[in-house]
Amino acid sequence: MNLNELTAHELSEKLKKGETTSVEVVSSVLKRIKDVDAKINAFLLVDEESAVTQAKKADERIQKKQAGPLTGIPVAVKDNMCIKGQTTTCGSRILFNFKPPYEAAVVEKLRSEGAVIIGKTNMDEFAMGSSTENSAFKKTSNPCDLNCIPGGSSGGSAAAVSADETILALGSDTGGSIRQPAACCGVVGMKPTYGRVSRFGLVAFASSLDQIGPFAKDVRDCAALLNAISGPDNRDSTSATEPVPDYTSHLDGNLKNVKIGLPEEYFIEGIDPDVRKAVDSAVQVMEKSGAKIVKVSLPMTQYCLAVYYIIAPAEASSNLARYDGVHYGYRTQKSENIIEMYMKTRQEGFGAEVKRRIMLGTYVLSSGYYEAYYKRALKVRTLIREDFKKAFEKADVLVTPTSPTPAFRLGEKTSDPLQMYLSDIFTVSLNLAGLPGISIPCGFKGNLPVGLQITGKPFDEAAVLKTAYAYEQAAGWHMKRRQESR
């Protein structure tokens, strides 16, 4: 196997033993990108020079026996996380030339671990979308079927990992933007508990929902990356001070006595039958491994999408107000006065989906509608949280499909926004309740992967990862992806 096709933990072993170097690993990854990215379009920016420099430094560290589990390992970063001096576009024309004079907290952490940051990945503009088709720059294809979407909004990161163009990647998840692309591309993707990972340097979409999380080829790698990026940050007032356990330490493959809850509202008519079959089989595998299956109910499920599509656009409409051509980013060529400048800049700089959500958000916050929409949504959000609290009295983790369908075709849903929003139907609830959640492969429909979602109590990423790992090892889908990768 080529170096770029291995996992981080396999590579880390080789690096430690001196069987390979970071320069060789990075070189393998860069070659792969050159070979396939013209078709996949996962990357917006690849910085070869910087990657090689970082790799050389990592090799020095490895030689000095000062390496950690991520030292020398290539990582791709979604283009909504600031890297100092490199363009950070958020997939938007309005930030086409923005070079941050500072760096995101997670990027700082990766650097201190000696990881090699190789480039920025494509995304739906400002993380708004479920297919990465809203990027102002390019459309990313699903490596499993180039005519299909990679999911969104972190489609670039998911595709890059899936196509072995990188070993690890970071994405962001506001309504499912890590989990759904992970499911579409057949890789592992996780959204931590809200507050687990610092948002400092993550360009905000919806402040009370956004979280940065890992993409990986297997659960062990995912846990290692989660270790590296988690922890409090006194530059983020919403970051939690809960201690960070070693997320790789309870991956023992043992599901005995783990209570797995199946929320009945997530197993409804309208789910693709192959998705349903794959998920049902997965549950059987878990049961055979010793888990206890319990039925739970989350009665507020039918309202989750509505709550999400009020709260997220509301916060976004305010967060995106700063893109006005005054201090940075795109500014329209000619304008008579500042109001005209604002209006034309934003008209020309933003895509349709972003405009749609800004207007929706402005509307639900506006005088006369605030009570009926935003305030009400916040209250229903409380009920959603209570739903989960009750369910977790009976179960340790909950299992659901990640998405009602596998990846759909490029262009299939772009003309109907509401249809597009319905892809998020199983994922948004976790953002609303601030819970950790992972998507792992659990089968295929033809070439297209199917994802299984596991969610846990706040700050109980350990239980989620333990369950995911045990299932993964028992079912072996991660090996299947490897065998089929080109």
Question: Active-site residues: which are they?
Answer: 78, 153, 177
Continuous segment of H or E residues that includes residue 472: helix 461-475
Residue found under tokens 């999400």: 308
Distance CA 185, CA 449 (A): 6
Binding residues among 260-279 for other proteins as defined by CB under 8 A: none
Q: Does 389 bind other proteins (CB under 8 A)?
A: no
Interface segment toward other proteins; rule CB under 8 A; list 88-96, 147-155, 269-277, 287-295 = 88-96
**Measuring CA to CA, how many Å separate 100 from each of 62, 117, 187, 326?**
30, 16, 30, 15
Continuous segment of H or E residues that includes residue 51: helix 48-63
Minimum CB distance to other proteins, residue 112 (Å): 19
Minimum CB distance to other proteins, residue 417 (Å): 5
Return the number of the residue (385 or 482) whose C-beta is nearest other proteins: 385
The strand pairing partners of 455, in sequence order, are 398, 437
Closest CA to 399 of 284, 483, 316: 284
Continuous segment of H or E residues that includes residue 116: strand 116-121
The alpha carbon of residue 7 and the mean position of all alpha carbons in its chain are separated, in whole angstroms, by: 18
Q: Does 337 bind other proteins (CB under 8 A)?
A: yes
Minimum CB distance to other proteins, residue 476 (Å): 38
Among 104, 223, 279, 475, binds other proteins (CB under 8 A): 104
Among 285, 293, 294, 341, binds other proteins (CB under 8 A): 341
φ, ψ of residue 50 to 5 degrees: the values are -65, -40
**Residue 231, phi-psi category: left (phi > 0), alpha (psi -120 to 50), beta (remainder):** left
* E strand segments, 240-329: 259-263, 292-296
Interface segment toward other proteins; rule CB under 8 A; list 51-59, 286-294, 314-322, 466-474 = 314-322
Q: Does 390 bind other proteins (CB under 8 A)?
A: no
Among 266, 350, 408, 426, binds other proteins (CB under 8 A): 350
Number of residues this chain uses to bind other proteins (CB under 8 A):
99
Minimum CB distance to other proteins, residue 95 (Å): 7
Q: Which DSSP state fits 189?
A: E
Binding residues among 26-45 for other proteins as defined by CB under 8 A: none
- How many residues in the chain? 486
Minimum CB distance to other proteins, residue 184 (Å): 23
> Helices 461-475 and 477-484, interaxial angle, to 10°?
60
Return the number of the residue (25 or 384) whose C-beta is nearest other proteins: 384
The strand pairing partners of 228, in sequence order, are none
Minimum CB distance to other proteins, residue 206 (Å): 8
Return the number of the residue (146 or 343) whose C-beta is nearest other proteins: 343
Among 365, 399, 440, 450, binds other proteins (CB under 8 A): 365
Distance CA 202, CA 215 (A): 16
Among 366, 389, 390, 476, binds other proteins (CB under 8 A): 366
Among 2, 102, 112, 147, binds other proteins (CB under 8 A): 102
Distance CA 97, CA 343 (A): 19
Q: Does 318 bind other proteins (CB under 8 A)?
A: yes
Among 40, 360, 430, 468, binds other proteins (CB under 8 A): 360
Among 56, 250, 355, 445, binds other proteins (CB under 8 A): 355
Interface segment toward other proteins; rule CB under 8 A; list 136-144, 150-158, 288-296, 332-340 = 332-340
User: How many CB atoms within 10 Å of residue 269?
Assistant: 5
The strand pairing partners of 216, in sequence order, are 188
Return the number of the residue (267 or 303) whose C-beta is nearest other proteins: 303
Distance CA 214, CA 168 (A): 7
| Residue 302 burial (10 A CB sphere; 0-12, 13-18, 19+) | exposed
Distance CA 140, CA 184 (A): 12
Interface segment toward other proteins; rule CB under 8 A; list 90-98, 146-154, 399-407, 447-455 = 90-98
The strand pairing partners of 294, in sequence order, are 261
Binding residues among 408-437 for other proteins as defined by CB under 8 A: 417-418, 421, 434
Minimum CB distance to other proteins, residue 200 (Å): 6
The alpha carbon of residue 96 and the mean position of all alpha carbons in its chain are separated, in whole angstroms, by: 22
Distance CA 55, CA 250 (A): 30
Closest CA to 173 of 468, 362, 436, 359: 436
Binding residues among 231-250 for other proteins as defined by CB under 8 A: 232, 234-241
**Measuring CA to CA, how many Å separate 413 from each of 130, 133, 176, 309, 418?**
10, 10, 17, 17, 9
Return the number of the residue (307 or 442) whose C-beta is nearest other proteins: 307
Minimum CB distance to other proteins, residue 399 (Å): 25
Among 67, 178, 279, 314, binds other proteins (CB under 8 A): 314
Return the number of the residue (2 or 97) whose C-beta is nearest other proteins: 97
Site string for other proteins, 45-84 (x = CB under 8 A): -----------------------------------xxx--
Binding residues among 163-222 for other proteins as defined by CB under 8 A: 194-195, 199-204, 206-208
Among 339, 393, 483, 486, binds other proteins (CB under 8 A): 339
